[in-house]
Chain A
């Protein structure tokens, strides 16, 4: 391909966003077509890049954007296995979700704005993917945050949506401050911002960062903690479900939240083994906490959101086990099946006039067969049932855990059990059992423009394990590894039988438990049995309450105190002004206009002067 075509991958969606914003606000159909067209074209061009890469001809393009003193900043396109894979995920899953949105958002008064913002998001996300340096990545990192803010707050008339958008943006910025400081620190030591340059220097001199090595790694990890919603900054993601469902699918499940994981893989060379230990545990804690919370949520999108958190925890944990290929593999398969589950949920919500509470649903199987079957495929893939895609990617992570850290391995298996449990809780309550409200009676299958994407994603979720993703990505991280065969259905059982078999057992137990409690249940039986535990889970371990208190203590109270301080300062200024005025008024009394008084004062003055001179 010619060089301009590579730039088009990135800039076509931006172009679409600009054209829609400036000219097509009143033409919803045109704007949808343009937005979908742009992302599809990007996808096709990405396939071209993949072909080039496999031929070993992928170009590295870089322009100098800024030069101040010793700071040189590039703007470039970097293509390797990692970015090629991510490009395909973002544009591929993105295309499917764009098409689905055409149906889902139909009739919304701000249809054009929706597609403009989706295109802006695609542009920003692709910018992160092709970055060849920290600075460019940070720029697009922020742009992604901005487009996520806009899309979460798409229905800004709802106070909850506006608040959620603000919360997401602020939480992300909090992580980004750490990220930015980490970048500056890394630049200060190495004198370069480019990934390749930094990697070369570290290869030549592994002790380059000296004592700051761990700190640099952790600060950079802060960025991923914010963007990929890891503990303790995970609180924004569930609230972000206030956005339209396709947004949740694309941004808050398949791509943007995975950007943190992608970044960790991209700069994997920078982390020390201390960093990796922290990363693994943060991932593990996130996975467990959110899986537990998911067990007691009632909003269909929130359950999926907590499930996303938990799966992101898996990916981050994999990076912590020095297994970026496993992380990227799970990122890809997760993009397929989580996008599928969200779009399936969207189809249900659409059919039930925007109802999201699972206890208002039931027996949708007969009403929406296509949604039912595809949702089942997504659920099984997420649980990791062999031979669906999730099984392979999750086993890769659990196998790495088995090698590195037995405690985290046990935690991972526990999460696998919880995942099956909450997903089948959701599945039984929504699709089987009795209808729990009148809404179900009016439900009907969604239009084809929404169901075809479901079918497509279901197919990807089923066969995702056989696409050769690990085989494609592994050489980048361990060039010496043996070439793996592409089609190896039994591979998990051969390489790490313990992990694979225990994983299957966890799924079986989770399924049985969910069946016992929730098959045919009218309401949730768990709160009756374990009141306290459920209460804590329903309140999400009280994180929101805790943070609200923290913000009050660290921000609102100081802000008010400092404001008082400022008022004090202003009073002080008035005091000087008052003193001057008062002195003036007093001195005015001296000026009487009476000649005798002046003479008297003059004489008194002269007497004083004489007195001082003579007594000397």
Chain B
């Protein structure tokens, strides 16, 4: 069932290319149906896996020979961690289509590329053959470039090229590490579970780990390799920035956990403190930079760097609670960042054609677009980690885990949360609730918030609220997976 998430997305993409006529409506509807079907498959697959396996081990979804000469297999499997991210992808995909309802320019191609991207992302989260994972990883990058360069705004060629180059440098590093691991293991297999059992020499692990980890983590916004993120987000069209922050950054974090950390636990141990420092720097740095941005979307872009810092910090704690927080934070940030980008890009920018906070300030947007204002208030509350929303429970777990491993970093990350409150309130007041000088207020006529926008906002808000109130729903997937045999080498490395 889970494999169909990939097939439906690619099939949808292929069908859209052959759809006749220039009318955008059938394209939108088809894309929405494909995204919904993907989400349904993801949900059904998640429930099935949960009922049957339960213990959190990898459950096979598909397994076939692909390139037997090299021992490469078409092997898809899922455990709790990948299921959480597959669900996230499904939700983000549906929301993205809803917030792209106003794409009229070459909409067939837009949605085809969009679905191809989604298919690639599903593929990464479900592959356990590392070669296959790498292929899907590359597949996900290419549509990204075209989405930004064709449908983007502000310096789109530059942003798209920067994003693509960063991604390719990262994947080149990953490829080097994977091939090295393949050769060193000598087992003629790219299978994750098989490679995880191999004890690589410590000296090899030390360099292989950092190459593969950084290769993936570039895409997760690891400081100081984060600058593609804000630029890319700003250049991208709404749905693409939602996916970029929502799922593409998670590809990086997922790869870092699944490949780099699982295969090279000794190397992980060597680099643990260094990466934790970079993560904390990212948290504080991103938050402080967000505090002085004049472009609304840059604020959210940098906040993503800050929030992804929590994911990386959680991974580096090597404690159960820290890792579970990291995975939950991936999910939570995917939803919340998607929501905030939707408000900025779709609800505000598409109507006012500006993202400059100084220009937005006198427009009194909370009167003009009350729904956008309320959505941003609630989304902002979720983003700054207020209890009741998913971000709180995720960041709290990361903090608790960090406290056990590196107490000083936990305190600094907590300061980052404080700066998060400051930039969120600042941008909230400036963009929506600034005092509008009645005489200076321009008469602003813009279309009302449409039904698809409302549906998308409610979907994302409902999800973050649901997980905030019942985090156990996802933790039931995550916790057993952290105890699965696959993760055992990690814990052994982390005992201190």
Contact = CB atoms under 8 A, between A and B. Distances in A.
B292 A559 contact: yes
Contact of A170 (B388, B400, B414, B421): B421
Given A170-B422, A184-B399, A162 B479 contact: no
B95 to A, nearest CB: 22
Nearest to B161: A577
A569 interface: yes
B418 A173 contact: yes
Contacts of A146: 381, 386
Interface stretch (B263-271, B283-291, B451-459): B283-291
Nearest to B319: A69
B472 A67 contact: yes
B414 A177 contact: yes
A233 to B, nearest CB: 13
Contacts of A482: none
A181 B414 contact: yes
B397 interface: yes
Interface of A is mostly: helix
A80 interface: no
A562 B386 contact: no
Given A68-B324, A169-B425, A188 B435 contact: no
B97 interface: no
A455 interface: no
B393 interface: yes
A180 B289 contact: no
A174 B420 CA distance: 12
Nearest to A561: B288
How many B residues are at the interface, by size bracket? 35 or more
B9 to A, nearest CB: 32
Contact of A555 (B231, B321, B422, B436): B422
Interface string A557-572: 0111011001001100
B227 A69 contact: no
Contacts of A159: 435
Interface residues of A, number: 43
Interface in B369-401: 381, 386-388, 392-393, 396-397, 399-400
B291 to A, nearest CB: 4
A569 B388 contact: no
A573 interface: yes
A417 to B, nearest CB: 39
B320 interface: yes
A138 B320 CA distance: 23
B318 to A, nearest CB: 13
Given A177-B418, A560-B292, A68 B386 contact: no
Contacts of A373: none
B289 A177 contact: no
A185 interface: yes
A71 B400 contact: yes
B411 A181 contact: yes
A156 interface: yes
Contacts of B411: 181
Nearest to B384: A173
B460 interface: no
B227 A559 contact: no
Contacts of B293: 563
A188 B404 contact: yes
Given A69-B324, A173-B421, A177-B415, A184 B227 contact: no
Contact of B471 (A66, A173, A185): A66
Interface string A81-111: 0000000000000000000000000000000
A187 interface: yes
A180 B227 contact: no
Interface in B181-238: 224, 227, 231
Given A68-B397, A146-B381, A156 B433 contact: yes
B387 A157 contact: no
Nearest to B293: A563
B292 A563 contact: yes
Contacts of A26: none
Chain B residues touching A, majority SS: helix
Contact of B417 (A162, A177, A187): A177
Q: Which of A71, A559, A560, A577 is the most central at the interface, judged by chain B CB atoms within 10 Å of its CB?
A: A559
A66 B425 contact: no
Interface string B453-496: 00000000000000000011001000100000000000000000
Contacts of B392: 139, 142
Given A68-B479, A69-B324, A170-B422, A562 B399 contact: no
Given A68-B475, A158-B435, A569-B227, A185 B292 contact: no
A566 B396 CA distance: 28
A361 B13 CA distance: 74
Contacts of A185: 403
Interface in B426-448: 426, 429, 433-436
A184 B407 CA distance: 10
B162 interface: yes
Nearest to A187: B400
Interface string A144-187: 00100000010011110010001001100110010011001101
Contacts of A174: 418
A558 B387 contact: no
A164 to B, nearest CB: 12
Contacts of B285: 562, 566
Contacts of B472: 65-67
A389 to B, nearest CB: 35
Nearest to B320: A69
B419 interface: yes
B43 interface: no
Interface string B268-298: 0000000000000000010011011100000
Given A142-B387, A169-B425, A184-B400, 10 more contacts: A68-B324, A69-B320, A139-B387, A159-B435, A170-B418, A181-B411, A185-B403, A558-B288, A559-B291, A562-B288
21 contacts: A66-B475, A68-B320, A68-B479, A69-B320, A143-B386, A146-B381, A157-B435, A177-B414, A180-B399, A181-B410, A181-B411, A184-B400, A184-B403, A185-B403, A187-B400, A188-B403, A555-B419, A556-B291, A566-B289, A569-B224, A570-B231
Interface of A: 65-71, 138-140, 142-143, 146, 153, 156-159, 162, 166, 169-170, 173-174, 177, 180-181, 184-185, 187-188, 555-556, 558-560, 562-563, 566, 569-570, 573, 577
Task: Return the 7 tightest CB-CB contacts between A and B, nearest first.
Answer: A139-B387, A559-B288, A69-B320, A559-B291, A159-B435, A559-B292, A562-B288
